[in-house]
A and B are shown apart, each in its own frame.
Chain A
Amino acid sequence: MSAVVSPIREPLVTGGKTYHQITEDICSPTERTPSAAWVLAFIVAVTCLALFVFGVAWTVYIGIGSWNLNRTIGWSWDITNFVWWVGIGHAGTLISAILLLFRQRWRTGVNRAAEAMTIFAVICAGQFPLIHMGRIWLAFFIFPYPNTRGPLWVNFNSPLLWDVFAISTYFTVSLLFWYTGLVPDFATVRDRAKGIRRKLYNLLSFGWTGSAKHWQRWESLSLVLAGLATPLVLSVHTIVSFDFATSVIPGWHTTIFPPYFVAGAIFSGFAMVQTLMIMTRKILKLEDYITLEHIESMNKVILVTGTIVGVAYLTELFIAWYSGYIYEQFAFYNRVLGPYYWSYIGMMSCNVLSPQIFWWKSLRRNIFVTFVMSIFVNIGMWFERFVIIATTLARDYLPSSWSYYVPTWVEVIIFIGSLGLFFTLYLIFVRVAPVVAVAEIKSILKAGGDQYIGPNANKQHQTSQEAAQ
């Protein structure tokens, strides 16, 4: 195979790695005793997870009355958190699927962890609609199963039901895609292990041998799953936006919602990938695989999607004015200058203004700036969902039923606890599985290793055809 790489491409694997060193660097964190930093992080995460369990148990025991929802504001932190987590869950599949189709080699450094993040974020997202039902033991009512009430089916014309199908399909497909990618790497860990660990990883690796025919099928499967996941990832947040857009609430009933939500999802997802990657590469010493080049590429995506989101905000304001429809005009006047003006300011400054610093290359390649920015974007995108949901509901058609909403402690600990759930799962993942796709990094080594391309290249990658001549 010949690796045709533009000379201006930057190396994606630094440190002049050999195949064996790649295996060693990426697999060894799963074989060492956990570092003090990991143990500390795990204790914090599990403590937050305990808060989540307590908050959910309290909600189920006392009832939804333990939240501050009222007749006017029926959706608030719960659905905000749901949309926020689903949005975060979009980057993984975007990186692994869309960038695979576009043949972006830098995806190999971050795809594994980003996909894991996707799965964990969707798990967190799924909690909120379930507990918001109040009677969680009846949650199976959302599925169309034959029942003794007729059978009376669910409403297939409802966007809330579309959401059930979209989120569960997205979760299943992401999980299958991620796990199929992991199987050859679990085999690598298996073949390095002894005793009980070897048995365990043999179980996880499904008996992978690395046969040429299996690799061929594996690549075919990955490509088709990527092709399926690409429209899927765009459909999921589109359908989430339908929860709002198909209603008749001013401020929600807009056709801009699907593309605007998808851009926002990618934006927040990449921000969370940055947050996690910057910590992971440092703690697991993976700076040679997750390089500044990777971080810069992701910052470019953050800049583009942040700007798209900004254009969407301004378009909404313009269309509200231009429509001449007073309820729509009031909805947006209220968003900007109403009782929740502070959340609008938070949204605008974090999502639209702050990412503009990434026009400067030096800031795109600055790890500290990137980390702070990724937190800003996460906060900003949470505010965006809060602005859309709570602000809009607080001032509806009838001024007599206008209301204001502040969360109770139960809602606050459930949100903090969902972060605990997320980080607990992520921390277990980095202990158990190779965080970077080992086989895929090896397959791009000759196209992206710094001994082959870039200023320090000292080896000419000779193809078999050239060697034969």
Chain B
Amino acid sequence: MSKDNKDVLYGLYNDEEELLAAVDQARADHLEIMDVYTPFPVHGLDPKLGLAESRLHIAGFVYGAIGTLTAFLFMTWVFTRDWPIIFGGKPYFSAPAFIPITFELTVLFAAVGMVISFYTVCGMAPGVNNPTLDDRITDDKFCIAFDVTNAEESLQDKLKGFFSQTGAAEVNTKPLPA
């Protein structure tokens, strides 16, 4: 194996309930799971894996607030400073009329910002080639993966024992780019 790769030992399960039980077992055995891959979001998996809640929605709020301020302050500047025009006898600063565009830009900034953040933090983009462990992970297999780069024989045996004990349908090793 080249030094740039890491060796991954992974087991495939046929059902998400088996997967959840196996993750519990791995935690009990103090095995360090590298990652879990599933064909659909499995509810209840995140706390078992100890994943912190995503902070994406906080970012979304910030982007939205930027949108609100951009829209409202820009329209205010245009109609009170840059080129004041009277429309229908209303004041230059006619805040209620600014609300629709302010709302739309809030939503636009929040949505676009969050989507860009999502793909950035997940390392995803058009043309990105992330090697996957098994083609059936996006179909009907639930995968638990362990990093076994330079691992001792005893740990490898322990992990294989864990997979057979928890009912993994298949166990394989595969190098992944680190």
Counting CB contacts under 8 A, is A71 at the interface?
no
Counting CB contacts under 8 A, is B111 at the interface?
yes
Q: A150-158, A260-268, A416-424: which one contacts chain B?
A: A150-158
Counting CB contacts under 8 A, is B173 at the interface?
no
Task: For A442, give its contact among B40, B83, B85 (CB under 8 Å).
Answer: B40
Counting CB contacts under 8 A, is B165 at the interface?
no
Known contacts A157-B97, A207-B129, A235-B104; decide if A217 and B21 are in contact (CB<8 Å): no
Counting CB contacts under 8 A, is A463 at the interface?
yes
Counting CB contacts under 8 A, is A440 at the interface?
yes
User: In the complex the two chains form, is A156's CB within 8 Å of B83's CB?
Assistant: no
User: In the complex the two chains form, is B43's CB within 8 Å of A1's CB?
Assistant: yes
Q: Which single residue of chain B is at the shortest CB-CB distance from A184? A: B138
User: In the complex the two chains form, is A173's CB within 8 Å of B130's CB?
Assistant: no
What chain B residues lie within 8 Å of A215 (beta carbons)?
A: 38, 40-42
Counting CB contacts under 8 A, is B155 at the interface?
no
- B4: shortest Cβ distance to chain A, in Å? 18
Counting CB contacts under 8 A, is B66 at the interface?
no
Q: Which single residue of chain A is at the shortest CB-CB distance from B145? A: A211
Q: Which single residue of chain B is at the shortest CB-CB distance from A180? A: B115
Assembled-state Cα–Cα distance A217/B51 (Å) = 11
Assembled-state Cα–Cα distance A208/B140 (Å) = 16
- B27: shortest Cβ distance to chain A, in Å? 13
- Give per-residue flags for B101-129: 1 if the beta carbon is below 8 A from chain A beta carbons, else 0: 10111011011101100110111111111
Counting CB contacts under 8 A, is A351 at the interface?
no
Known contacts A1-B42, A224-B57; decide if A172 and B126 are in contact (CB<8 Å): no
What chain B residues lie within 8 Å of A223 (beta carbons)?
A: 57
User: In the complex the two chains form, is A220's CB within 8 Å of B56's CB?
Assistant: yes
Counting CB contacts under 8 A, is A409 at the interface?
no
Counting CB contacts under 8 A, is B31 at the interface?
no
Task: For A464, give its contact among B21, B79, B132 (CB under 8 Å).
Answer: B21
User: In the complex the two chains form, is A225's CB within 8 Å of B17's CB?
Assistant: no
What chain B residues lie within 8 Å of A31 (beta carbons)?
A: none
User: In the complex the two chains form, is B94's CB within 8 Å of A188's CB?
Assistant: no
Assembled-state Cα–Cα distance A167/B174 (Å) = 48
User: In the complex the two chains form, is A212's CB within 8 Å of B98's CB?
Assistant: no
Q: Which single residue of chain A is at the shortest CB-CB distance from B128? A: A207
Counting CB contacts under 8 A, is A462 at the interface?
yes
What chain A residues lie within 8 Å of B118 (beta carbons)?
A: 180, 217-218, 221
Kindly name the residue among B114, B121, B139 whose own CB sees the greatest number of chain A CB atoms within 10 A. Answer: B139
- Give per-residue flags for A262-285: 1 if the beta carbon is below 8 A from chain B beta carbons, else 0: 000000000000000000000000
Known contacts A155-B87, A156-B101; decide if A220 and B57 are in contact (CB<8 Å): yes
User: In the complex the two chains form, is B40's CB within 8 Å of A439's CB?
Assistant: yes
Counting CB contacts under 8 A, is A203 at the interface?
yes
What chain B residues lie within 8 Å of A218 (beta carbons)?
A: 41, 118
What chain B residues lie within 8 Å of A19 (beta carbons)?
A: 39, 139-140
User: In the complex the two chains form, is B40's CB within 8 Å of A209's CB?
Assistant: no
Counting CB contacts under 8 A, is B170 at the interface?
no
Counting CB contacts under 8 A, is B32 at the interface?
no
Known contacts A202-B129, A467-B17; decide if A210 and B37 are in contact (CB<8 Å): yes
Number of interface residues of B (CB under 8 A): 70
User: In the complex the two chains form, is B41's CB within 8 Å of A156's CB?
Assistant: no
Within 8 A of A (CB), among B54-68: 54, 56-57, 60, 64
User: In the complex the two chains form, is A221's CB within 8 Å of B98's CB?
Assistant: no
What chain A residues lie within 8 Å of B121 (beta carbons)?
A: 217
Counting CB contacts under 8 A, is B171 at the interface?
no
Counting CB contacts under 8 A, is B177 at the interface?
no
User: In the complex the two chains form, is B40's CB within 8 Å of A467's CB?
Assistant: no
Counting CB contacts under 8 A, is B158 at the interface?
no
Task: For A173, give its contact among B17, B38, B108 (CB under 8 Å).
Answer: B108
Known contacts A206-B128, A220-B54; decide if A153 and B78 are in contact (CB<8 Å): yes
- B43: shortest Cβ distance to chain A, in Å? 4
- Give per-residue flags for A165-181: 1 if the beta carbon is below 8 A from chain B beta carbons, else 0: 11001001100110010
User: In the complex the two chains form, is A439's CB within 8 Å of B41's CB?
Assistant: yes
Counting CB contacts under 8 A, is A37 at the interface?
no
Counting CB contacts under 8 A, is B157 at the interface?
no
Assembled-state Cα–Cα distance A23/B140 (Å) = 8
User: In the complex the two chains form, is A221's CB within 8 Å of B37's CB?
Assistant: no
User: In the complex the two chains form, is A187's CB within 8 Å of B138's CB?
Assistant: yes
What chain B residues lie within 8 Å of A467 (beta carbons)?
A: 17, 21
User: In the complex the two chains form, is A210's CB within 8 Å of B38's CB?
Assistant: yes
User: In the complex the two chains form, is B115's CB within 8 Å of A221's CB?
Assistant: yes
Counting CB contacts under 8 A, is B24 at the interface?
yes
User: In the complex the two chains form, is A463's CB within 8 Å of B56's CB?
Assistant: no
User: In the complex the two chains form, is A208's CB within 8 Å of B139's CB?
Assistant: no
Q: Which single residue of chain A is at the shortest CB-CB distance from B60? A: A224
Task: For B111, give its contact among A165, A173, A207 (CB under 8 Å).
Answer: A173
Known contacts A152-B83, A191-B137; decide if A208 and B130 are in contact (CB<8 Å): yes
Counting CB contacts under 8 A, is A228 at the interface?
yes
Known contacts A220-B57, A235-B103; decide if A172 and B75 are in contact (CB<8 Å): no
Task: For B138, give its contact among A166, A191, A235 (CB under 8 Å).
Answer: A191
Counting CB contacts under 8 A, is B90 at the interface?
yes
The 8 closest A-B pairs by CB, nearest first: A207-B128, A19-B140, A207-B130, A191-B135, A206-B124, A220-B54, A157-B97, A439-B40
Report 13 cross-chain contacts, Cβ distance below 8 Å, ordered by A residue: A153-B78, A156-B98, A161-B101, A162-B101, A166-B100, A191-B135, A192-B139, A208-B138, A211-B36, A215-B41, A220-B57, A224-B114, A467-B17
Binding site for A on B (CB under 8 A): 16-17, 20-21, 24, 35-46, 49, 51, 53-54, 56-57, 60, 64, 74-75, 78-79, 82-83, 85, 87-88, 90, 94, 97-98, 100-101, 103-105, 107-108, 110-112, 114-115, 118-119, 121-130, 132, 135-140, 143
